[in-house]
Amino acid sequence: MTMTTNPQLDVDRIIDDRRIRIIVCCGSGGVGKTTTAAAIGLRAAERGRQVCVLTVDPARRLAQSMGLSSLDNTPRLVEGIDDEAGGSLHAMMLDMKRTFDEIVEAHSDPTRAAQILANPFYQSLSSSFAGTQEYMAMEKLGQLRRSDEWDLIVVDTPPSRSALDFLDAPERLGRFLDGRLIRLLTSPVKAGRPFGRMLNAGFSMMTGAMTKVLGGQLLRDAQTFVTAFDTMFGGFRERADATYKLLQAPGTSFLVVATPEPDALREASYFVERLAEERMPLAGLLLNRVHSAGSCRLSAARSLGAAETLETMISNGPLATDSATHDTVAAQTVSAAALRLHASRMNLGERERRVAGSFMSAHPAVPVVEVPALPDDVHDLAGLRRVGETFAVQR
């Protein structure tokens, strides 16, 4: 049963399309992005593709479900998949500091690299800057794609404050590294100032203010870092631009994941609009954890009415002195409870349809696939496979 007239999202068609080389799963926190990415990866591998799943979420259970005790910065082969179709599955978890370090090492001579790696400002930037994870995820994605070892990379986006941070972080870091602030920070330690006297006065006022606010030591660390890093800026900017272009290319497919909750769908809406703005290829919306009405079509109102009738019978009926009466009352009690449960399920389904409906009417062209809520969490490949099966269009 589907709740809309939006086109059906055919996940298998995307998986089977050999021209698609990257699938990006995005959406707000707690909607099941990471599990979705892993399930898609497994399904694609078992349908014959050479897949690498790149995750940024250190969920131990997910690693375990793929038979890996832990995930690290190198793609690891996942054993035990069905490889009859000739596919394979690798999985890795992003280590942002290691990835950043590797870029530094690749782009500067050993002395300068050592200098940068030892700088306190760099150490903080590479391990805890809120945008570094997003930037490094993009960087890693670019590396994996360029290596051409896999014909499909499935990536889930970092658990950002907002799903959009993923797209903005590289630009922001790039802006910072190219920006006037950098020039301001570096100017006191560079020989000769390119500024006129008036500007100079303005700048020293600003540097004074910054020293006051940030403190001299922090400012000096930042300056040293920026100076050492100077030669790498161009390369950084280029890489960020290249990865961004990669995301706009036809070989990439964005899959927005959401649950039928107002907040999750609001984020999904922003994302869909943003992708259109950036001309990034949207595959569609995977609506996760939908409570389907099941086969029972009895309405919530009739169900509640019948439950009340039974409850009145129970409270007005004879005391259960013999076993026959006892059994009748027991059956009435169970039936009333089951009817109330059914009514609440129908109401929940109705609410989800309403919430999802407003997304659909705002984005009528976005393909959608609904994935039913599963009672259990995923513990192994079989569980992941079952999740993947729910993505398939019922034909």
Residues in region 240-269 near other proteins by CB under 8 A = 259, 261-264
Name residues whose C-beta falls within 8 Å of residue 70's C-beta, 6 or more positions apart in sequence: 60, 63, 93
Residue from the set 31, 66, 255, 275 that interacts with other proteins by CB under 8 A: 31
Instruction: Give 129 or 244: the residue with its C-beta nearer to other proteins.
Output: 129
Question: Alpha carbon of 354 to those of 232, 290, 331, 345: distances in Å?
Answer: 51, 12, 34, 14
* Residue 273 lies near other proteins (rule: CB under 8 A): no
Least separation in angstroms between CB 339 and other proteins: 7
Residue with smaller CB distance to other proteins, 46 or 352? 352
- What is the spatial distance between Cα 243 and Cα 281, in angstroms, rounded to a whole number? 14
Of 50-79, which residues contact other proteins (CB under 8 A)?
A: 59-61
Residue with tokens 């997910």: 62
- Binding flag, residue 376, other proteins (CB under 8 A): yes
What the block records as the tokens of 1 is 């049963």
Determine contact, residues 136/99, Cβ cutoff 8 Å: yes
> SS3 sequence, 202-235?
HHHHHHHHHHHHHCHHHHHHHHHHHHHHHHHHHH
Tokens standing for 5? 């007239």
Of the pair 205, 365, the CB lying nearest other proteins is at 205
10 vs 57, beta carbon nearer other proteins: 57
Kindly state the smallest distance separating residue 169's Cβ from other proteins, in Å: 8
175 binds other proteins (CB under 8 A): yes
Least spacing, CB of residue 363 vs other proteins, in Å: 20
Which position among 19, 180, 279, 395 is part of the footprint of other proteins (CB under 8 A)? Answer: 180
162 binds other proteins (CB under 8 A): yes
User: CB-wise, 105 or 261, nearer to other proteins?
Assistant: 261
Among the listed residues 19, 315, 375, 394, the single contact to other proteins using CB under 8 A: 375
User: CB of 365: closest distance to other proteins in angstroms?
Assistant: 27
Select the residue interacting with other proteins from 281, 292, 332, 383 (CB under 8 A): 332
Q: What DSSP designation does 8 have?
A: B
Please give the full DSSP string across 82-122, using - where no structure is assigned. --TTS-EEEEEE--HHHHHHHHHHHHS-HHHHHHHHH-HHH
Report how many residues bind other proteins under the rule CB under 8 A.
78
Q: How far is the CB of 113 from other proteins (least distance, A)?
A: 19
Q: How far is Cα of residue 43 from the mean position of the Cα atoms in its chain?
A: 18
Nearest CB to other proteins, comparing residues 117 and 181:
181
- Which burial class, exposed, middle or buried, applies to 277 when counting CB atoms under 10 A from its CB (0-12, 13-18, 19+)? exposed
CB of 222 to other proteins, least distance (A): 8
For 315, counting Cβ atoms within 10 Å of its Cβ (0-12 exposed, 13-18 middle, 19+ buried), the class is: exposed
Q: Does 179 bind other proteins (CB under 8 A)?
A: yes
Rule CB under 8 A: is residue 184 a binding residue for other proteins? yes
Residues 280-319 that bind other proteins (CB under 8 A): 294-296, 298, 302, 305-307, 309-310, 313
Chain mean position to CA 235: 27
Nearest approach in angstroms of CB 296 to other proteins is: 4
Instruction: Tell me which residue has tokens 């005790």.
Output: 69
Residue choice 200, 335, 358, 361 for contact with other proteins (CB under 8 A): 335
**Contact call for residues 355 and 5 (beta carbons, < 8 A):** no
374 binds other proteins (CB under 8 A): no
Is 121 among the residues that bind other proteins (CB under 8 A)?
Answer: yes
Alpha carbons within 13 A on the beta-carbon side of 349:
22
Per CB under 8 A, 181 contacts other proteins: yes
- Tell me which residues in 205-234 interact with other proteins (CB under 8 A): 206, 209-210, 212-218, 221-222
CB of 353 to other proteins, least distance (A): 13
Cα diameter, the chain: 104
- Alpha-carbon distance of 311 to 390, in angstroms, equals 38
